[in-house]
Amino acid sequence: MWGFRKNSRGIGEDTCRVPNREDSSGVAVLLSNVSTAYPRSKNPALINVSLEVEYNTLTLITGPNGAGKTTLLELILGFLKPLTGVIRVLGFKMPKDSRKVRMLSGYLMQDFMKSPRETYTVMQVVSMGLAAYKGPLTPLNEKDLEAVRWAIKAVGLEGLEEKPIGILSGGQQQRAFLARVLVRKPKLILLDEPFSSLDPEGRKTISEIIDNVRRKLKSTVIVVSHDISPIIEYADKVVEMKSGRIVGVR
Ligand X SMILES: Nc1ncnc2c1ncn2[C@@H]1O[C@H](COP(=O)(O)OP(=O)(O)OP(=O)(O)O)[C@@H](O)[C@H]1O
Residues that bind ligand X (CB under 6 A): 38, 41, 45, 63, 65-71, 110
DSSP 3-state of 49: strand
Least spacing, CB of residue 51 vs ligand X, in Å: 14
**163-202 binders of Mg ion (CB under 5 A):** none
Q: How many helices (H) and strands (E) does the chain have?
A: 7, 12
How far CA 2 is from CA of 16, 21, 188, in Å, comes to: 9, 18, 9
Residue with smaller CB distance to ligand X, 184 or 203: 203
65 binds, among Mg ion, ligand X, none (CB under 5 to 8 A by kind): ligand X
Are the C-beta atoms of 59 and 239 separated by less than 8 Å?
yes
How far is residue 71's CA from residue 45's CA, in Å, rounded to a whole number? 7
Are the C-beta atoms of 245 and 34 separated by less than 8 Å?
no
71 binds, among Mg ion, ligand X, none (CB under 5 to 8 A by kind): ligand X
**Is residue 70 near Mg ion by the rule CB under 5 A?**
yes
DSSP 139: P
38 binds, among Mg ion, ligand X, none (CB under 5 to 8 A by kind): ligand X
Residue with smaller CB distance to Mg ion, 69 or 184: 69
**95-114 binders of Mg ion (CB under 5 A):** 110
Are the C-beta atoms of 101 and 78 separated by less than 8 Å?
yes
41 binds, among ligand X, Mg ion, none (CB under 5 to 8 A by kind): ligand X
Closest CA relative to residue 63, chosen from 238, 222, 242, 193: 242
Residue with smaller CB distance to ligand X, 67 or 126: 67
The CB-nearest residue to Mg ion is: 70
68 binds, among ligand X, Mg ion, none (CB under 5 to 8 A by kind): ligand X
Residue with smaller CB distance to ligand X, 131 or 249: 249
How far CA 28 is from CA of 41, 141, 178, in Å, comes to: 30, 31, 21
Residue with smaller CB distance to ligand X, 71 or 219: 71
DSSP 24: G
For binding to Mg ion (CB under 5 A), which residues are involved? Answer: 69-70, 110
